Structure 1
Amino acid sequence: MALARLFWVLSASVSLLGGAVLGGPPCPQAPPLWCHHGETARTCQVEKHCAKLDPGPSVAPPVSVSLYYESLCPACRAFLVLQLFPTWLMLSHIMNITLVPYGNAQETKGPSRWQFECQHGQDECLGNMMETCLIDYFQDVSYAFPVIFCMESSRNVTQNLPTCLNLYFPEASLANITSCIDGDLGNKLMHQNAQSTRSLNPPHQYVPWILINGKHTEELQGQAQDSLFRLVCDLYKAKPPIACRDQKAAPPAWPRSPQDDAY
C-alpha cells in the first residue's frame, strides 16, 4: 500500500509535466517549481497544466500550514510525503507552508554549543539539522521542500542528501549546506527551532503537530491528516483553483494504523 501511495505522489508530479517537455528544451527548475513563475512555465512548456492549478490573482490570504515534526518519525514522514507534499504541488498558489524539524527533541546548553537529544537517536538529530540547513540555504521553503520530500520518502533519510540535492538543484552548494550542518550556524538554527516548538500554544503533545492558519485543534489535526487537500480547498476564502473542484485530485486517504499514530 505504501508503494501505491508513493506512486500517486510521483504521478501528481508527472501530471504537472503533461508530457509536453519530453524531447523539449531543458527546464531551469525542478518539476515542483515549474508553475511558480510564468517564464519558467513557458520555458518548460507546461502553461496549460499550470493554468489548471493557478486560481489567478489572489483575492484572499493563502491558507497557512505549519508542520512541527521529526525527520525519522514514521507518522511525520507519512504526513509529509503522502499529504503535505502532494497537496502543495497542486495548491501552492493558495497555501503557505512552514517546516520546523525538531519535535520531541530536548536541548541543553553546553560550554560553547547547544546539545540535542532526539527521540529516534542521533541519526534523527542529524536529519533535523540537514533539513533545517536546507531551509536556511535556499531562504525559501518552496525550494527546500522538494529536496526534503526526496529525503523523507527514501529508505534512509540522512544518507540521501547529496542524491536528492543533485536531483532537484545540481547547482546548489553541498559544501555550504554541510558547513551549516557541522558548524555554528546549524547549531543556532536548531536552537531557534527548539524555541519555536516550545512557544507553541497550546504546547505540542505529539508529532506531527499541525497548525492551520496558526491554530492547532484536534479537529484540524484530524482533518489535515485525513485529507489536507480538501481542508485547504475548503478554507480558502476566494475562488479556488480548478484542482479543488476535481474530486479525483485529492491524494488518497491515509488509513492510519496503530504503529503510525502520532506520538
Structure 2
Amino acid sequence: MFLTRIILPLCIVCTFASSNSQDTVKVSLYYEALCPYSQEFIKDQLFPGYQVLGDVLDLDLVPYGKAKMSNINGKWKLTCQHGPKECFGNKIQACVLDLNYTQAKSMNFIGCVMSTETPENKKIAKKCAEKNKLSWTDIKLCMNGEQVNEIMEKMGNKTNNLEPKMMYVPYILFNDIHDDDVEDEARENFLKTVCKMFKNKPPGCSDFN
C-alpha cells in the first residue's frame, strides 16, 4: 500500500472537476528523482498505467520538486532536497523531456530509470536511453551545456507558481486541478482513478466501468 500524506512530508523540507467530456486526460506530476515516494508512484502506478493507456494520457512531468535555483555571480546553482545526486538525476530526466522525443519514449526512459534503486546513476541512465533508442550523445550535450540551466529554471518556475502551493512530492494534478482525495486514490490505484475520468472508456479501462 502506498504511504499516506502523513508519511509523505519526509519528502518535503478547489474543487476537483471531472473530465467526463474528454477523450484524453492530462496528468501532471511534480516529483524528485531520489524521493522514494516519487520513485514508488512512477514505478508502481504511473508507468504501468501509461503502458496500459498510452497517449490517451497527456503527461506533464516536472522533475524538480523542492529544489532551489539561484544565480551567483552570473553562474546558476541548483540545490536539491536529496543532494547533488538528485540534482543530476533531475537534470537527466529534464533533458530527456526537453529533447522533443515522443511522449512514449520519454515516459519509457523515465519509467526505466525510476524503477531502479539509483535513478541518478549515469550508467543506468545510458542503458535506459539505449534501450529506448534515445541519443545518449544528445542527452550528455544537454547536461553539459547551458541549456540544462534554462530547462531547470523553467521547471522551477513552473513548480513554484503552482496554486495551491506544492508542499510535498509527488504532487499530482489531473487536468490542471489538484484534489487531495483524488491524489490519494491515484497513489493507491492510478489506473482505476484515471479511468473514471473518461466519457468514452479506452480499451485499458474496460475493467473499470
Q: TM-score, normalised by structure 2?
A: 0.84
What does residue range 1-263 of structure 1 map to in structure 2 within 5 Å?
60-159=22-121, 160-169=124-133, 172-238=134-200, 240-246=201-207
Give me the TM-score of the superposition, normalised by structure 1. 0.68
Unaligned runs of 5+ in 2: 2-20
> For structure 1, which segment, 115-124 or 156-165, has the greater mean C-alpha deviation from structure 2 after superposition?
156-165
Are the counterparts in 1 of residues 30 and 170 from structure 2 also a CA contact under 8 Å? yes
- Give the aligned residue type for 2:91: M
Q: Determine if contact 2:69/2:156 at 8 Å carries over to the other structure.
A: yes
What are the Cα deviations for residues 46-83 of structure 1, in whole angstroms up to 9, with x where unaligned?
Answer: xxxxxxxxxxxxx8341111000000000000001110
* Cα distance in 1 between the residues matched to 2:60 and 2:177: 13
Q: Residues of 2 paired with 1:60 and 1:104: CA distance?
A: 32
Does the Cα contact within 8 Å between 2:68 and 2:78 map onto a contact in 1?
yes
State the SS of the aligned residue for 2:196: helix
Alpha-carbon distance in structure 2 between the residues aligned to 1:76 and 1:237: 29
Q: Is the 8 A contact 2:39 2:114 kept in 1?
A: yes
Q: Distance in 1 between matches of 2:188 and 2:202?
A: 21
* Structure 2 residue identity aligned to 1:164: C
Q: What percent of counterpart residues are identical?
A: 33
1:147–1:168: 8 Å Cα contact kept in structure 2? yes
> Against the structure 1 CA distance between its residues 140 and 199, is the aligned structure 2 distance closer, same or farther, given a 3 Å change threshold?
farther
CA offsets 1:23-58 (integer angstroms, 9 cap, x no match)? xxxxxxxxxxxxxxxxxxxxxxxxxxxxxxxxxxxx
Deviation at 1:150, TM superposition (A): 0.9
Contact 1:83 1:229 in 2 (8 A): yes
Cα RMSD for the two superposed structures: 1.8
Question: Deviation of residue 86 (structure 1)?
Answer: 0.7
Q: Which has the higher contact order (CA 8 A, sep 6+)?
A: 2
What is the rounded CA distance, in whole Å, between the counterparts of 1:128 and 1:63 in structure 2? 25
Aligned to 2:7: none
Give the match's secondary structure for 2:189.
Answer: helix
- 3-state SS in 2 of match to 1:138: coil
The equivalent residue for 1:4 is none
Maintained 8 Å contact 1:114/1:191: no
Q: Could you tell me how far 1:114 is from its partner in structure 2?
A: 2.0
Is there any run of 5+ residues in structure 1 with no aligned partner, and where?
2-58, 248-263
Cα distance in structure 1, aligned partners of 2:56 and 2:195: 8
How many matched pairs?
Answer: 188
Pairwise CA distance, 1:237: 1.9
Deviation at 1:218, TM superposition (A): 0.8
Superposed displacement of residue 232, structure 1: 1.2
User: SS state of the match for residue 200, structure 1?
Assistant: coil
Cα offsets for 1:175-227 (capped at 9, x unmatched): 22111112100110000000000010000010000001101121121111111
